[in-house]
């Protein structure tokens, strides 16, 4: 008997989710039906694809080799379906998006409703990682990267730029005083990143004329955590405008050392693999980000009526 697409999808789902039960939920099938489908596939192939232990499922060597081909077939079928739907201007299917937590919360989440209203057949899967991920390993379609790009294996589209500046809460400044010159920062609690180290280089010049690298008193891997610490009056922080635009507008955070601050802007890109033809799903999402954040949206898109407050000219 010939292998069916349903069997390949069930196999891939079990691998991705780590269990037959979770795969059944993802596929909207019963656990018994998913188990029978997997058993039928192994019977047709006359080999064991997964070892079942008391704790988890593990791929055999044969299963690992077959998985690569199975994914290629599934992707090929999905692309064929998508191309037909694209002709009717209706992108569909799952779109996996990855971004650091601050960008996800402050930029992407407020735009999801408008995007879904325009592209209701696209299923969004939103994931947050603070570091740079492998798109293939995490099965990510498009990732948002902030800062200079280094990976030449990726296609990219510039979404915009966001300025960085130093901030503190009014309560902190009232308790500890307003820094008047760069050297005053030595007397303050500084909030910084565990990694990458480049985020601890602030947009001011030290006494030696070089970019000022801080030694944080409090570290975090997340810009959102540092924002919350600053709002609580813990210390001085340096963050991108897309994280803090609303806080500054509301007066919850105020800029410090404004006269000493250099105009440093972080480029923001959407990236995806070069060896993958850009899908209508990816194109629809990236185009929407650029349109809305750049202020080019139609009057029906509430967030798009004006350019994003934090967006800097490209």
Is 19 contained in some domain?
Answer: yes
Least confident of 19-28, 68-77, 97-106, 139-148: 139-148
Look at residues 306, 310, 298 and name the one whose alpha carbon lies nearest to residue 115: 298
Are 272 and 251 in a shared domain?
Answer: no
Are 252 and 127 in a shared domain?
Answer: no
pLDDT at 107: 93
Q: Cβ contacts of residue 184 below 8 Å, gap of 6+?
A: 177
pLDDT at 135: 53
Is 183 contained in some domain?
Answer: yes
pLDDT at 124: 93
Across residues 139-152, what is the average pLDDT?
78
Across residues 178-199, what is the average pLDDT?
91
Between residues 58 and 304, which one has the greater pLDDT? 58
Least confident of 129-133, 216-220, 259-263: 129-133
CA 185 to chain centre: 32
Is 303 contained in some domain?
Answer: yes
Confidence of residue 305 (pLDDT cuts 50, 70, 90): very low
The H-or-E segment that residue 292 falls in is helix 280-293
Are 47 and 23 in a shared domain?
Answer: yes
Are 105 and 138 in a shared domain?
Answer: yes
Between residues 57 and 82, which one has the greater pLDDT? 57
Whether residue 1 is predicted with pLDDT greater than 70 in this model: the reply is: no
CA-based torsion, 172, 173, 179, 184: positive or negative: negative
- Choose one of 29, 60, 86: the last residue of a domain: 86
Domain of 235, CATH number, reads 3.40.190.10
The pLDDT tens digits of the residues spanning 13-28 come to 888 888 888 888 888 8
DSSP 30: -
Q: What percent of the chain has pLDDT over 70?
A: 84
Are 287 and 299 in a shared domain?
Answer: yes
Is 70 contained in some domain?
Answer: yes
CA–CA separation, 142 vs 210, rounded Å? 36
Whether residue 202 is predicted with pLDDT greater than 70 in this model: the reply is: yes
Give the up-direction half-sphere exposure of residue 264: CA atoms within 13 A in the CB hemisphere.
22
Are 147 and 112 in a shared domain?
Answer: yes
CA–CA separation, 286 vs 158, rounded Å? 9
CA–CA separation, 84 vs 121, rounded Å? 14
The first and second tokens of residue 277, run together, are 């033809």
The pLDDT tens digits of the residues spanning 242-287 come to 999 999 999 999 999 999 999 988 889 888 875 555 678 888 999 9
Are 211 and 234 in a shared domain?
Answer: yes
Are 251 and 175 in a shared domain?
Answer: yes
- Choose one of 248, 265, 282: the last residue of a domain: 265
Are 242 and 171 in a shared domain?
Answer: yes
Is 54 contained in some domain?
Answer: yes
- Choose one of 61, 86, 111: the last residue of a domain: 86
Is 92 contained in some domain?
Answer: no
CA–CA separation, 84 vs 90, rounded Å? 9
Across residues 191-220, what is the average pLDDT?
90
pLDDT at 314: 53
Look at residues 240, 235, 254 and name the one whose alpha carbon lies nearest to residue 105: 240
Are 32 and 80 in a shared domain?
Answer: yes
Domain count, the chain: 3
Q: What is the pTM of this model?
A: 0.64
Are 129 and 66 in a shared domain?
Answer: no
- Boundaries of domain holding 40: 5-86
pLDDT at 260: 92
Is 28 contained in some domain?
Answer: yes
For 136: left if phi > 0, alpha if psi spans -120 to 50, otherwise beta; the answer is: alpha
Are 79 and 101 in a shared domain?
Answer: no
Domain of 76, CATH number, reads 1.10.10.10
């Amino acid at each position: 008997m010939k292998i069916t697409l349903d069997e390949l999808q069930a196999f891939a789902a079990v691998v991705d989710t780590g269990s037959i039960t979770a795969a059944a939920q993802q596929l909207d099938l019963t656990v018994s039906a998913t188990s029978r489908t997997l058993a039928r596939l192994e019977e047709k192939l006359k080999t064991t694809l997964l070892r079942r232990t008391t704790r988890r499922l593990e791929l055999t060597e044969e299963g690992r080799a077959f998985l690569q081909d199975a994914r290629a077939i599934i992707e090929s079928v999905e692309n064929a379906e998508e191309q037909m739907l694209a002709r009717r201007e209706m992108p569909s299917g799952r779109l996996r998006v990855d971004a650091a937590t601050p960008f996800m919360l402050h930029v992407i989440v407020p735009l999801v409703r408008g995007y879904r209203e325009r592209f209701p057949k696209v299923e969004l899967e939103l994931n947050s990682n603070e570091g740079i991920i492998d798109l293939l390993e995490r099965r990510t379609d498009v990732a948002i990267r902030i800062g200079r790009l280094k990976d030449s294996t990726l296609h990219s589209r510039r979404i915009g730029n966001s300025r960085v500046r130093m901030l503190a809460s009014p309560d902190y400044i009232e308790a500890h005083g307003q820094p008047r010159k760069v050297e005053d920062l030595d007397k303050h609690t500084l909030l910084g990143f565990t990694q990458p180290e480049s985020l601890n280089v602030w947009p001011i010049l030290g006494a030696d004329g070089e970019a000022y690298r801080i030694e944080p008193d409090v570290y975090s891997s997340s810009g959102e955590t540092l924002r919350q610490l600053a709002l609580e009056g813990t210390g001085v922080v340096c963050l991108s405008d897309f994280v803090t635009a609303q806080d500054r507008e509301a007066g919850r955070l105020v800029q410090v050392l404004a006269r000493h601050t250099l105009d440093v802007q972080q480029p923001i890109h959407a990236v995806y693999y070069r060896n993958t033809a850009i899908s209508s799903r990816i194109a629809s999402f990236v185009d929407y980000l650029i349109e809305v954040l750049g202020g080019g949206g139609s009057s029906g898109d509430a967030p798009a009526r004006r350019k994003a407050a934090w967006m800097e000219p490209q």
